[in-house]
Amino acid sequence: MSVDFSLYNKVFENRIRLQIMSVLMANEGYDFSSLKDLLDVTDGNLASNLKTLEKEGYITVEKSFVDRKPNTRYKRTDKGAKAFENHLSALENLIKQQYK
C-alpha cells in the first residue's frame, strides 16, 4: 500500500525548479527574461533556483550577446532530463495509488 518513492527527487520538491525543468523539457532552450515572465517570479528567486539546477548538472547556461545586449540562455542536460522523468514517474505512481 506504500508508494515507491525511490525515484522522487528532492531537487524538484521546489515549485519553481519543477516549473523551470518542465519548461526546459518542452523547449530546446529558454532565456532568463522569458522564464521570469512565464513563471512570474523575482530575479533573485529565479536565479537562485537556476543555480541549484546548474550545480546538480541538470541544466547548462550559455551567455552571449543578442543585439549587443547580454543574453543568458538555459538548456536541460541529458542527466537533468532523466532525473526529471524519474521524478515524474514517482509522482505518477503516487497519483495512480490514489485512484486505485
Provide the binding-site residues for its own copies, judged by CB under 8 A: 1-3, 5, 8, 10, 13-15, 18-19, 22-23, 25-27, 38-39, 85, 88, 91-92, 94-95, 97-98
Give whichever of 47 and 91 is closer to its own copies, judged by the CB atom.
91
Least Å distance between CB 50 and its own copies?
A: 17
| Cβ-based neighbour number of residue 100 at 10 Å | 6
Helix 43-55, helix 15-26: angle, nearest 10: 70
Least Å distance between CB 22 and its own copies?
A: 6
Tracing cell 500500500 back to the chain, one arrives at 1
Give the helix ranges, DSSP H, for 4-77.
15-26, 32-39, 43-55
Least Å distance between CB 8 and its own copies?
A: 6
